[in-house]
Amino acid sequence: MERSNIHLHQALFGYREGHRLISASRQFDPLTERALLTLSDMSGPRMHNGFEEYLSGFSLPGGNTYTFVKSWYAPEMERPGCVWTHALFISNEDIAKLLDLRPLLNFFVHPSKVSPDFYSSPQSSDVQGIFTPVTAISINEALGLVSCLYEDPDIPVLMPADSAKQYEELIVATWSQQWPALRTNFSFCTGALSNRSTGEHIFDLQAIPKRLAREIERNEKLYRIYNQPTPEILVQTETWQSVSALDITHHEEPEFREFIWKYADPSIPGRRIFKNLAEFWLTFLKREDQREVLDVTRAVALIYPAVETGSVLKNDIFGSNSSLGTLDEPRKLSTLAETIYWESFDPDDLQLRNRAKELWKFRRIDAESILTKLLTSTAHALGDVIIEGFLEGMTPQDACDFAEGKGGVLIGIIARNPLFVRQIEFWNCKLPSNLIFDILDLLKGELANYVSISDWLLALIRSKREELAEPVFQRFGHEAVSAFLDIYNTADLLLPWPSPPRWRSALCSHQDFVLEWIAKTNQYCPRLIALLTTVLESKSPEINALGIPFWTVLTNNANLVTDIPNADSAAFLLSIGLQSDDKSATELIILTFEAVYLAAASDNLSYRGWEMLKQDVPTLGWRRNWDKCERLKRALLLKFNRNCWPSVDFLRAIKDPVIFRSVLLTASDMQEGLSYLHYVAETTSNRDAQDFADNLKIIRSSLRRDWRGNLKLTL
């Protein structure tokens, strides 16, 4: 048996040269005291028999307490119409502790039984939290009052009575039934001798002398008049009114009061949700009505149409850990996704996104069924959030598998969750080319403001979908070129190297964009520079303007050049070197000559590479012009001889002994070649040529002059 400790401040009002506050256990601000003086005075201009003592209950604006008062007519006073009023001030916290408020009546004390000092101290007591059946009233009386109060919840109710005592227990029991927030906003008087109000708010319930009923009926549109039912009438059909009335009189089903107390939203003022809560309990919980679940959403939305209200009830029916009803998780989500009352439900409060995500992970078949319906219909806000949750739970492969054979469903998925395209796994899915092209068009069009090419191009580069290089550059143009180059210019990114051939080939078709990017960029990492050697033309003025130092950074990163097949990068750099007369160009020739020569000797030199180089090497006539290696050797000898480049650099450029002997043979047939070999033999010190001593020895031992003084080379 629960007991609740309550703490009650109190005050006594009575006649002392006017109606005044006689004694109190607390102080009041002037406005509150003025209101209390009015409401504690006699409730009308004159007393009526049977109404010599009565109860009132009300809250004053701005307070956190409820005022419960009892007034006694004071005929002993000289002035007619005087009353004694004992007021109890109950905190909202304490009023919520009491299941039955009738025990509060025991705290009222007539001033004739105690001294005024009694009221100057608060009362405290333990009150049992139990319900005592109401024996003094019939179920039909309670039924009539419930109907009056809650069918028209905004209209005050008047109860014509023979005395203030006639409906006192019924009124207090009805007040007790109400949940705490409604209790503290409910105002009543068991003996109103005139209309009672707090400010502009007329009391919710007033018992009035029957003599006054005729006067009131003139304004019946402002009030609802309680008509006492015939005692013999019994409730034949269970209704929300009968359930509520039985709870007032007998409280045989405590679950009803527990339900309305738990699920009444305190933010909703007045009596307006009582009827709907009672109907809901009767229909869906007591009777366990098996009607369509969509009716449940309608019923909940009828009680709480505003999205911010009724959170407890909505969660206990449709939440992940619901305690009401028997709906499983897929049914809850599908119901919320389809309901036309979606505006009444808060997707964040119900955690719909995360729940959909979890359903996708652990109950895939159910999730797929719901998602299919949602994607093929017009989804509202709840449906959108549930879709987003499903998509968050998916992997890219899940999305592709789900969409297979469903027309443009994958396009719809990407439109809702563009983050998929940031993942390598998505681009590696086996999708038809036309579908991929549709996705690229989507990224270029509708999603352009939500996801940029920089967000997903890295994943595409790292995937195995090289065939998409040209479609990407065709659609996105300068934006794609810039993004691609930015990625390769980020030194710490792990990227495929050499850059896949189709990406390089596609980039070659957009050299103007590449040159624009170079002009706007200030720093270049070696990998990016190596990439540029595979896509640019060595003869363009913009390339010449960059200068030799731009490229010589690769001499310290030779692997970036040699990793590129078919000597494509090396051919570009060799072309740059052969075009220049600057001594620094020798570094490019040293880096690349042997690689290009060997590629040409084995017919592996790229077409692009030779197209650049053939303009930098001498021709041999139509019968020998096919000999790329010979032309390369002659170009090397001529370049070093004409620019008087250091002999050590020449020896560094042809370290391979086989290539070296081949160059000497070519030189033996060239006057300029013989001259440069003589220059090498004469000017190279043994110390400078330590690493090339054998080759230098061959040159020195093979060179001689004939009887005419001409240089000859004998190998």
pLDDT at 98 over 80: yes
Confidence of residue 232 (pLDDT cuts 50, 70, 90): very low
Angle between helices 329-338 and 293-303 (to 10 degrees): 60
Q: What is the pTM of this model?
A: 0.77
Residue 115 has pLDDT above 50, yes or no: yes
Give the pLDDT confidence score for residue 1 in this predicted structure.
43
Q: What is the pLDDT of residues 442-456, one digit of tens each?
A: 999 999 999 999 999
Task: Kindly report the number of other CB atoms within 10 A of residue 600's CB atom.
Answer: 21
Q: Would you say 59 and 85 are in contact if contact means Cβ atoms under 8 Å apart? A: no
Cβ proximity of 166 and 233 under 8 Å: no
Instruction: Find the mean pLDDT for residues 101-109.
Output: 93
Lowest mean pLDDT among 2-11, 16-25, 37-46, 151-160: 2-11
Distance of CA 532 to the CA centre of its chain: 41
| Tokens describing residue 91 | 């905190």
> How far is C-alpha 155 from the geometric centre of its chain's CA atoms?
44
Fill in the DSSP letter of residue 422: G
Hey, which bits of 16-47 come out as E strands? 19-24
Between CA 600 and CA 609, with CA 604 as vertex, the angle to 5 degrees is 70
Helices (H), 165-310: 168-177, 180-185, 213-217, 240-249, 254-263, 274-280, 293-303
Mean pLDDT across the chain: 91
- Beta bridge pairs of residue 3: 128
Q: Identify the bridge partners of residue 205 per DSSP, sorted by sequence position.
A: 157, 188
d(CA 89, CA 68): 6
| Strand, helix or coil for residue 521 | coil
Measure the CA–CA gap between 441 and 435, rounded to whole angstroms.
10
* pLDDT at residue number 288: 55
Mention every residue, 6+ apart, whose C-beta is less than 8 A from residue 7.
91, 94, 122, 123, 124
**Using one digit for the tens of pLDDT, what is the confidence trace for 141-185?**
999 999 999 999 999 999 999 999 999 999 999 999 999 999 999
